[in-house]
């Protein structure tokens, strides 16, 4: 094989990169617009203003770009190859002696570079910006709440501090209520001395108020420490359940963390005997991110030598959407099976791209025959 790159490599790479960047900008732009429409509904909660909403959306753009890149890469690559095929430029390159493998390298090489940049973004700017956005939004919507990376939601009411690991809004068809899980209450006296620590399996806020379940409380007296255990305990509190519910989605968002933060989160939760499966799922998702992009794009390349030659832009766009949606649906299902049946997430993330690469190799060999 002749040394890389040649003029035809640079030309193909330029077309692919230009189309991918344009597709990427459109997808991220649509995602931003839809997110902004959704965020407008939160304006007016606490001191949350339109400017805060704009600031939140702007900070989330690096994370949205990272998420949208695999889809943009396969759609953009198909659009670029379709353009080259319909104008007979691929046929001309083949007539000049450029092999299909060499054309595949010309397509994959620039995408590898872009993927590398996205990996850097996913480990640095994206998680930092998203964390800043979540913190800003939580602070604007409630001055007494904060979301910590690994230790959950923290809220304050007077001299009492609440910490919850997870939280969900639940419904039985007639009533909706907030349920917080793995709850700790720290109560301080007027002199700043810790008076008690309560650990509850769950805390529910219904129309009758707060109810703590499976409560273990430790009392710190001047010369003694006592412990009590009750199955249920009514908790007198004026904490705003609506504000807590609004922040419950931010309690622990491993999908927005970097790989290093996820690794720390896994260690933290294992040390405290907490479930770390969600962190492990997204941790390995980071490492298989570049393989996913490569598998999607390589699986699309064989179509450039056949069906894309006579198809219009709508056909290419349709194929790109089918490829990306099919791949992500397959991967999500396999990952969910890994969570249910407790097998290694690395296997779950490896199976779908291997299937795509196998399909690509088969189609490539078939069209080369």
Q: Which of 217, 215, 200 is nearest to 166 (CA)?
A: 200
Q: Which of 360, 340, 351, 356 is nearest to 284 (CA)?
A: 351
On whether both 120 and 15 belong to a single domain, the answer is: yes
d(CA 138, CA 48): 9
What's residue 343's pLDDT?
87
Query: Structural domain tally of the chain?
Result: 2
Task: Please count the helices (runs of H) and the strands (runs of E) in the chain.
Answer: 12, 7
CATH code for the domain in which residue 186 is found = 2.60.450
End-of-domain residue from the set 192, 213, 248: 248
Does residue 199 form part of some domain? Answer: yes
- On whether the CB atoms of residues 283 and 119 are closer than 8 A, the answer is no
d(CA 26, CA 317): 13
The pLDDT tens digits for 182-230 are: 889 998 888 888 889 999 988 888 777 888 989 999 998 878 889 989 9
Write out the H or E segment, with its range, that includes residue 128: helix 125-141
What's residue 1's pLDDT?
47
d(CA 159, CA 156): 7
What's residue 264's pLDDT?
81
DSSP string for 179-245: EEEEEEEEEE-TTS-EEEEEEEEEEEEETTEEEEEEEEEEEE-SS-EEEEEEEEEEE-----HHHHH
Write out residues in the chain with pLDDT < 50, as ranges. Answer: 1-2, 149
What's residue 190's pLDDT?
82
On whether both 13 and 109 belong to a single domain, the answer is: yes
């Amino acid at each position: 094989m002749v040394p890389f790159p040649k003029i035809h490599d640079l030309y193909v790479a330029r077309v692919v990169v230009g189309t991918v960047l344009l597709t990427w900008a459109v997808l991220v732009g649509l995602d931003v617009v839809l997110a902004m429409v959704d965020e407008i509904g939160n304006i007016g909660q606490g001191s949350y203003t339109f400017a805060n909403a704009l600031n939140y959306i702007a900070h989330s753009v690096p994370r949205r770009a990272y998420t949208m890149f695999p889809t943009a890469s396969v759609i953009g690559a198909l659009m670029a190859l379709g353009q080259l095929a319909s104008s007979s430029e691929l046929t001309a390159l083949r007539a000049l002696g450029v092999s299909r493998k060499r054309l595949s390298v010309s397509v994959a090489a620039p995408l590898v570079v872009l993927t590398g940049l996205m990996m850097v973004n996913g480990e640095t700017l994206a998680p930092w910006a998203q964390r800043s956005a979540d913190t800003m939004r939580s602070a604007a919507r409630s001055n007494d709440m904060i979301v910590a990376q690994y230790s959950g939601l923290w809220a304050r009411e007077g001299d009492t501090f609440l910490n919850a690991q997870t939280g969900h809004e639940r419904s039985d068809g007639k009533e909706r209520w907030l349920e917080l899980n793995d709850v700790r209450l720290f109560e301080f006296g007027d002199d700043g001395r810790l008076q008690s620590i309560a650990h509850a399996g769950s805390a529910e806020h219904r129309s009758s108020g707060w109810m703590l379940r499976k409560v273990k409380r430790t009392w710190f007296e001047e010369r003694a420490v006592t412990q009590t255990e009750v199955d249920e305990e009514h908790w007198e509190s004026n904490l705003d359940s609506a504000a807590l519910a609004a922040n419950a989605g931010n309690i622990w968002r491993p999908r927005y963390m970097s790989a290093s933060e996820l690794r720390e989160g896994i260690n933290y939760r294992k040390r405290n005997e907490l479930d770390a499966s969600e962190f492990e799922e997204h941790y390995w998702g980071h490492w298989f991110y570049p393989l996913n992009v490569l598998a999607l794009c390589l699986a699309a390349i064989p179509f450039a030598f056949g069906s894309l030659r006579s198809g219009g832009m709508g056909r290419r766009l349709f194929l790109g959407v089918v490829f990306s949606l099919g791949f992500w649906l397959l991967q999500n299902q396999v990952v969910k099976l890994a969570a249910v049946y407790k097998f290694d997430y690395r296997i779950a993330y490896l199976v779908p791209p291997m299937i795509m690469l196998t399909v690509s190799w088969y189609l490539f060999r078939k069209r080369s025959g």
